[in-house]
Amino acid sequence: MTVKGGGALMPLLLLSGCNASSDAESGQSGETELSGRIDCALEGAPDFARNCTLDEMNGADGTVLVVGRADSGYRRLAIATDGRGVVAADGSEPAKVTVIGDGMIEVAVGKDRYRLPANTGGAN
């Protein structure tokens, strides 16, 4: 998958497949081969767990990431091309993006937090 745009925090969608099957079933390992699973902490949980899914939708208005939740809910995050990384694509709560390491951002929307692979340019 290729993501177009010029934002310094633009997610690189290193995850492939983006489905609900586990890599343990397929024998694959490694963070980029986790069938679209990402770490998340929902409803104010203090700890992250790899139980959210990540999918990508491309349209006339750009690329939107759909982050699926274990309770069948989801959030939509639009990839911003102005260096902000991602912005909330639905709802009234804004997305707060924080660089947490080389190649990783944390996105907080309301009480939910998500960790996404990103092109951070080596920022910490």
Q: What are the boundaries of each domain within the chain?
A: 23-117
C-alpha span between 80 and 73 (Å, rounded): 23
Question: Cα–Cα distances in Å, from 97 out to 19, 77, 89, 104, 121?
Answer: 25, 11, 14, 10, 15
C-alpha span between 124 and 103 (Å, rounded): 9
Q: What is the pLDDT of residues 11-69, one digit of tens each?
A: 343 322 333 333 333 333 344 344 689 999 999 999 999 999 999 999 888 999 999 98
* Contact between residue 83 and residue 5 where contact means Cβ atoms under 8 Å apart: no
Q: What is the mean pLDDT of residues 2-8?
A: 34
Least Cα distance to 15 among 32, 27, 30, 28 occurs for 32
Full-model pTM: 0.70
